[in-house]
Structure 1
Amino acid sequence: MSRTPGPRAVSRLGAVLAALALALLPAAPAAPAASAAGKPAVALSLQEAAVGTELTATGTGWPARTLVMLLVCGQNMIGGTNSCANADGVAVTVADDGRFTARLPVVAPPKPCPCVVDVTSVNGDQSTVAVPLKITGHPVADLPAESGTARLAMLTGVRLRGGDGVLTWFGAPPSRRFTATVGNLGSAPVKDPVFQLGTAHGVFAPQWEEARWKGTIPPGGKGEVGLDVELPAGAHGDYTVSLKYGETVLATQPWGVARPYGVLLFWGLLLVVVPTALFRLGMAVVDRVRPRPGAPGRHRPTGPAPDPAAGPAPAVTARLPKATPAGTSGTPAPALPWFTPDPPRPREPRPPQTSAPSDHSPTTKGPQ
């Protein structure tokens, strides 16, 4: 007669089976290493895998709601995506907490190992992380020297940043920062490229000047180039700023510069102030050199007007003091007056009176 196991025996059997299942399960993938300063990081569930297997990639610290692309590449991705298995790539969207999990099939890249899993955000801040991966059975070769041609092309983001200040309103040189996003379409990285900035006024040809940008643009990557451009003092009107790399003009941007009205205001005030100052100076000189009342010289009498019936007034002859000969004692001769006195005029005879004076005629009173 068989005995039915009790509840205690059943619970013990369940605990043993659960422990056995946990022991037989594969190890969970290692958590991605913490990234410094919140930089994106990626961890793989397998460090070595054969072609045809599938691995799990876990990412942390990525911008939320961005799309990332995972590719298996050979030769440490030297030469860009030409060394990757592009047809077997996987795209996944990052969660709100900056994490993502993607299952990536292991395929043979077109180039030999050392191989990497390249993870790049398609939008956002264009972050890129390469995680080493050893592919079983795939050939391994030495890394080639980075060679090839660098070919930059304009993408987006062409604009002039900055504004004018008070000094620019008075004729100071206007300046801006020319920014543009360029991509490297070649097979070699571009390090510290030397561009040419050209400024043209109206329909005239641009004047080119070399400008170096500090940075590196990898093959297949892109970067935002920022260069300072400055116009001569007092510049105004329609200008055009051009960016050239090698013999290719990458971008052009119009620039309308306002007229420096502060300079016109300055010249207007100068044309008013200077003549006024000269006029006041001339009047001050005239006031200093003109003769004063009471000074020797000819002046108008200040007494009442002479009576015509009384006859001409006796002439007044100005007598000059005798000059003292040189070398003799005495007071020095006075200074000559501004004007010499008029010569005395001869006294005209009074006409005789032929009739008695009328009642309405003025009477003259002779000497008593």
Structure 2
Amino acid sequence: MGKTLFDSPSFANHEGVHAFHDEKTGLKAIVAVHSTARGPAVGGTRMWNYASSAEALEDVLRLSKGMSYKNAVADLEMGGGKSVIIGDSRTQKSPELFRAFGRALNGLGGNYYAAEDVGVSVEDIAEARKATEYVLGLKDGPEASGDPSPVTAEGVYRSTLAVARRLWKQDDLTGLTIAVQGVGHVGGYLADKLHKAGAKLIMTDVNTAVLAEVAARTDAEIVAPDAIYDVKADIYAPCALGATLNLQTLDRITAKAVVGAANNQLATPDIGQILFERGVLYAPDYVVNGGGIINVASEMNARQSGGAYDASWVERKLSRLMDTFEEILERSVSENKPTHLIADAIAEARIKAAGDLKAELLKAA
């Protein structure tokens, strides 16, 4: 971090950064609202035992900006935001904590809607719902979109097929080896789809019980967490925490493509440039993992219209996102530029256009 919040490169022109503390429940939360140009900021809530509040702030800022780009690329009428709750999700959760979090969200007046993320379940979000309307990703009721993980996995799977068509000129994954890092919610669903399409899987996860279960049903080879970077694979699929593409891992990864569900996979933007120069096809994370937020957006639509969750709308949006992904791959070749820069340019143009329109309407009013 720099001397102040505004000095941090991750601040990136955020509209608002809010810290909340509730002494009674022990809640310590930070909500970052990056942009509301395209609509209310929407993004998940992560509960993590950060080493320091500075680390928590850095994480929420990076994730929040990522949500702005993700929502814009998926062409959703939503801005980007994110929230983090500082604490151990295994030992420090309570219904009261999430109700306190819900009350904190009320103070933002609908500028930000929270959903589940690492360390936070749909049950936790349901608890927060008792105190606020500004949460999404519910299990019950006509508007409920439920667990977004299957839709996220479907988007990553379709992106993997698109990459296989481009690099290996094949319509399925037969004969390809994929190294899957993390087989939790999304990674588990993804592994099933990859296996069914003919891929040979090598996988790892810190949760050995879940790992054994997923590996058994997908005929996968299991390796230790750190060994996943060294396996001989055609595609590396990071589906756990971010920044696994870094200067320490780059020389160990021999895959020709990176297609995974994790957020913020590039430790720094220059890693994307290095991958490009080495001829490794990087599928921009916030493009290929946008299925989950599309699923959540359908719930937002239903909430606003008084209607119900619409699976066909989700499918149309996911198909459009896959078209955008193909466009990014095409332009990367024709413009000789890394995929992450092409994706950023598309997102930034859409956010700027919405912001300009908003400013014009305010002027006219």
Task: Tell me the TM-score normalized by structure 1.
Answer: 0.21
Task: Tell me the TM-score normalized by structure 2.
Answer: 0.21
Which structure features the higher share of helix residues? 2
Which structure features the higher share of strand residues? 1
Greater length-normalized contact order (CA 8 Å, ≥ 6 residues apart): 2
The structure with more radius of gyration: 1
